[in-house]
């Protein structure tokens, strides 16, 4: 019988006793109401104190959490490539992983810089996960063991919070990893491999990562060349939505620059590349306009911001082209950022009025300042994470109390049912209702305190004073007897 069923039967039966009895004596009616209220409060209050006592002591749930994996800090790229999971593999891999008897829940985060498994274990120390990982990727022990890490319990929680907050990333504070963790959560949810523990951990992680972004400056400062170039542009030009940027190139750096400009609300983007098809592909993603390199001079005067990063062996923009563009612009200022090596823009361009020319070396000071700022923010983020790890572990530890509370309530409900059934039999036999109620209260009280009393006597015999301390806390007794 569940506690809810027992509670329902108790209320129904006691209500039947009352309806059969129909006491007219005010004292009898008061006894009935007090008995009903006292029993309900007793079980609720005792359950609350059990839960509170579990939170005050370090316990471990029957299911433990584990984070396992490799990343850019522990393994070279050739090893990371061998253990990466393609998106199409993840669903089957997750289902195969949780088919192992020790593994109850699982999620996989797989990016270019890390492959990590977050699992809920029914038993064992995590070797089952390592064994599965080796078997799945067909690796020998010597191929993978030097590069892996295992984080159990609260360290698994701390690791996930740090990763999601960008504290464990190649670029400190980068935000992309949070989106990748959300993708991992969605995949595991679809695969049906998340249970209550991991699901709650992911939700807690998303909340903490948002708090870190909101309460610290972890993502505010430039720490990449692309971000530094865009940050510099925003310092020079206000009302970003009213300006046009010309990007020269279509490689990874220009793609990241386009992303930052788009997120910052640039009004218009033009993307120029030697292979116009590549320019079109990138322009389509960000709503930009694509041109070929020979067309640059036709559009240069439109650009307030020019950011160039190509592999050209000679400069693409010369002093004469920029001078012509300035005349067409009626000498409205231009920002030119050359992040290519060799340089894409002739150095003599810096001699022109109304031109701000920066090279990749000039951006290093901005990047270093940004790194210092992010490192200070990372210290604040670590403090937030410390507190949130503790918060999550308290929730996890509280699950230990649930089975104890359930067992206590089931036992108490069984005792209630037995006494109420006896009371009904006596009522139907015509016995005095008030006497029956008094006897029922007395007998139930004796049953409820019998086992604790016996155990306390045994504890006294063995001089186990911690049992008395626990009893005083659970039952809120006076401390005179300690």
What is this structure's pTM? 0.62
Res 221 pLDDT > 80: no
Whether the bond into 342 is cis, omega within 30 of 0: yes
| pLDDT value, residue 100 | 93
Q: What share of the chain is helix, strand, coil (3-state, %, to 5)?
A: 65, 10, 25
Average pLDDT over residues 315-328: 96
Least confident of 18-22, 128-132, 396-400: 18-22
State the pLDDT confidence band at 91, using cuts at 50, 70 and 90: very high
| pLDDT value, residue 444 | 84
Res 19 pLDDT > 50: no
pLDDT tens track for 244-299: 999 999 888 899 999 999 999 999 999 999 999 999 999 999 999 999 999 999 99
| pLDDT value, residue 56 | 46
Round to whole Å and give the CA distance between 83 and 115: 7
| pLDDT value, residue 162 | 97
- Alpha carbon of residue 183 to chain centroid: 12
CB 268 within 8 A of CB 292: no
| pLDDT value, residue 165 | 96
**Of 414 and 34, more confident:** 414
| pLDDT value, residue 243 | 97
- Residue among 62, 112, 119, 413 flagged as catalytic: 112
Instruction: Show the tokens assigned to 239.
Output: 């009302």
| pLDDT value, residue 43 | 52
Query: CA angle, 87 as apex, 212 and 139 as ends, to 5°?
Result: 100
| pLDDT value, residue 480 | 60
413 is catalytic: no
Calculate the average pLDDT of the chain.
85
Average pLDDT over residues 339-349: 92
Average pLDDT over residues 408-431: 85
| pLDDT value, residue 47 | 53
pLDDT tens track for 109-165: 999 889 999 999 987 778 899 999 999 999 999 999 999 999 999 999 999 999 999
């Amino acid at each position: 019988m569940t506690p809810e069923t027992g509670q329902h039967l108790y209320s129904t039966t006691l209500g039947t006793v009352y309806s059969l009895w129909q006491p007219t004596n005010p004292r009898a009616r008061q006894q009935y109401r007090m008995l009903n209220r006292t029993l309900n409060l007793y079980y609720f209050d005792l359950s609350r104190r059990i839960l509170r006592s579990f939170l005050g002591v370090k316990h471990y749930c029957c299911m433990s959490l584990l984070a396992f994996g490799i990343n850019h800090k522990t393994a070279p790229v050739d090893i990371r490539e061998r253990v990466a999971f393609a998106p199409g593999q993840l669903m089957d891999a997750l289902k195969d992983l949780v088919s192992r008897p020790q593994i109850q829940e699982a999620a996989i985060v797989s990016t270019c810089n890390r492959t990590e498994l977050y699992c809920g274990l029914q038993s064992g120390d995590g070797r089952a996960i390592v064994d599965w990982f080796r078997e799945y990727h067909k690796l020998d022990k010597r191929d993978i063991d030097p590069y892996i890490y295992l984080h159990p319990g609260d360290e698994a929680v701390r690791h996930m919070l740090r990763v999601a907050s960008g504290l464990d990333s190649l670029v400190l504070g980068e935000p992309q990893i949070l989106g990748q963790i959300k993708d991992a959560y969605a995949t595991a949810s679809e695969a049906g491999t998340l249970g209550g523990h991991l699901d709650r951990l992911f939700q807690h992680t998303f909340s903490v990562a948002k708090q870190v972004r909101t309460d610290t400056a972890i993502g505010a400062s430039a720490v990449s060349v692309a971000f530094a170039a865009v940050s510099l542009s925003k310092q020079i030009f206000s009302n970003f939505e009213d300006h046009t940027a010309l990007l020269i190139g279509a490689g990874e750096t220009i793609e990241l620059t386009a992303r930052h400009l788009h997120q910052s609300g640039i009004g218009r983007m033009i993307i120029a590349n030697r292979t116009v098809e590549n320019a079109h592909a990138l322009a389509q993603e960000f709503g930009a306009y694509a041109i070929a390199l020979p067309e640059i001079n036709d559009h240069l005067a439109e650009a307030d911001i020019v950011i160039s990063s190509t592999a050209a062996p000679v400069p693409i923009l010369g002093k004469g082209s920029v001078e012509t563009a300035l005349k067409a612009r009626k000498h409205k200022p231009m920002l030119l950022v050359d992040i290519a090596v060799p340089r894409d823009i002739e150095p003599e361009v810096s001699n022109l009025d109304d031109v701000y020319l920066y090279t990749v070396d000039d951006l290093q000071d901005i990047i270093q300042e940004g790194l210092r700022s992010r490192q200070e923010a990372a210290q604040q983020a670590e403090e937030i994470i410390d507190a949130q790890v503790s918060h999550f572990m308290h929730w996890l530890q509280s699950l230990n109390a649930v089975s104890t509370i359930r067992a206590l309530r089931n036992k108490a409900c069984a005792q209630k049912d037995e006494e109420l059934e006896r009371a009904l039999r006596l009522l139907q036999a015509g016995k005095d209702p008030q006497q029956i109620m008094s006897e029922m209260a007395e007998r139930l009280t004796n049953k409820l305190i019998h086992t604790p009393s016996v155990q306390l006597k045994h504890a006294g015999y063995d001089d186990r004073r911690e049992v008395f301390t626990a009893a005083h806390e659970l039952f809120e007794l006076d401390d005179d007897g300690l």
